[in-house]
Amino acid sequence: MIRIAMLGSGFIGRFYADSIQGYRNKDKIVSICSNSIENAQKFAAQYNVPHTTTSMEESIAHPDVDMVCIALPNYLHEAAVMLCCKYKKAVITTKPLGRNGAEALRMLHEVEAAGIFNGYLEDLVYTPKFLKAKSTISSGALGKIIWAKSREAHPGPHSNWFWDKEKAGGGCMLDLACHCIEISRGYIGKNIRPVEVMCWADTQVKPIDAEDHAIGLVKYENGAIGQFEASWTFRGGLDLRDEIMGSEGTIFINGFLRTGMDIFTSSKEDKYVAEKAETNSGWLFPVGDELNELGYNHMFMDMFNAYDTGTNPAENFYDGYIINAIIDAAYQSVDSKKWEPIILKEWRGQSEANQKSSHISYDQDFFLVKEELTHYGAKKLILKNKKTGEIIEKILE
């Protein structure tokens, strides 16, 4: 059994608690910390937690606590991580790791210097659909991944601090593209170095200092391109979609909205439908098992198994740092309107990925450009001469 201190009793702290304790699990939350003692007590009553406090340090230092789960606003992540280092407690933290690369790098260095277990809670690379797509890609069914797009868009977050640029560290790009970037990185290959970013972001709708809509491209050393779309201005619910293009295949994923379950109700009662759903009357699109579809169950299983076996989880603070560094470059690109280099002070992947060609040889002399069976029964081949570069057509009747 792992005994957990939960820091934060808000939106994500409760999702995490539902996942950790919801299925006859042996792991238990033994301490809950919130800046509001009333909230902490409410959470404790709901999840049967013996210790409540408003002090992060008291929760982390508590002798019954093995692991600390950080579910606090972004501006408190670093302080909480430093206390975990002080008390040598294993730590798992929600996204984004830091408000910027510098914060994330300090956290990475400190947990490693303290020698404590560290996990990065990027749930969307643990969804059943992501895991299936990833294993399909690993089997070679898609060939070389050349483009991986991920989109997260919704009508905006649920607490005041998200809308404060200083406390949050940014707008929708930091909040949501941190998911998209790690999803694309997962498809393209986490040991392939991301090299530069081109990004557009603007404040189109909301009365805030930070961006409420952003679209960016992340170029990888092997020539692959990652694309993210993040928005706090999207109307209609929580839109999570991925598109992956490989030299040999394609995957489309709709992760949350319109996944095959439609319910109609004329009821006007205040019932929860799904995260960020904008209505609970009329046609509704619930996702089924939300905890599972959002990846929380598989994520905690990986974190806790890794802790038990003394190994690394699939996502740790190093990944959190890489994502923050990519987002730093994206913000620079928004200002400069140019491709900006991604400065990685720590890189532990491949030293140099070769731009492996995915050209298909037809025979000794030609590359195959395209093969098509026409509606009039002819099989057409478009071929490129390897020496002269000439493009020819060959028709097989």
ω before 96 within 30° of 0 (cis)? yes
Structure tokens at 124: 């969307």
> Which of 94, 222, 231, 324 touches ligand NAD by CB under 6 A?
94
According to DSSP, the β-strands at 194-202 and 145-153 are: unpaired
The answer to whether 180 touches 150, Cβ cutoff 8 Å, is yes
355 binds ligand NAD (CB under 6 A): no
Q: Report, in Å, the least distance between residue 72 CB and ligand NAD.
A: 5
The answer to whether 91 touches 121, Cβ cutoff 8 Å, is no
* Residue nearest ligand NAD, Cβ-based: 10
72 binds ligand NAD (CB under 6 A): yes
Of 24-32, 66-74, 107-115, 192-200, which segment contacts ligand NAD by CB under 6 A? 66-74
The neighbouring-strand residues paired with 149 are 227, 243
According to DSSP, the β-strands at 145-153 and 67-70 are: unpaired
Radius of gyration of the chain (CA): 23
- Residues 208-267 within binding reach of ligand NAD (CB under 6 A): none
172 binds ligand NAD (CB under 6 A): no
- First-to-final CA distance of the chain: 68
314 binds ligand NAD (CB under 6 A): no
189 binds ligand NAD (CB under 6 A): no
48 binds ligand NAD (CB under 6 A): no
9 binds ligand NAD (CB under 6 A): yes
The answer to whether 182 touches 201, Cβ cutoff 8 Å, is no
DSSP 11-44: HHHHHHHHHHHSSS-S-EEEEEE-SSHHHHHHHH
73 binds ligand NAD (CB under 6 A): yes
Q: Report, in Å, the least distance between residue 143 CB and ligand NAD.
A: 31
What's the helix, strand, coil split of the chain in %, to 5? 35, 25, 40
Number of residues that bind ligand NAD (CB under 6 A): 23
119 binds ligand NAD (CB under 6 A): no
Q: Site mask, ligand NAD, residues 20-39, x = CB under 6 A?
A: -------------xxxx--x
44 binds ligand NAD (CB under 6 A): no
12 binds ligand NAD (CB under 6 A): yes
**What residues line the site for ligand NAD (CB under 6 A)?**
8-13, 33-36, 39, 56, 71-74, 76, 94-95, 121, 123, 159, 175
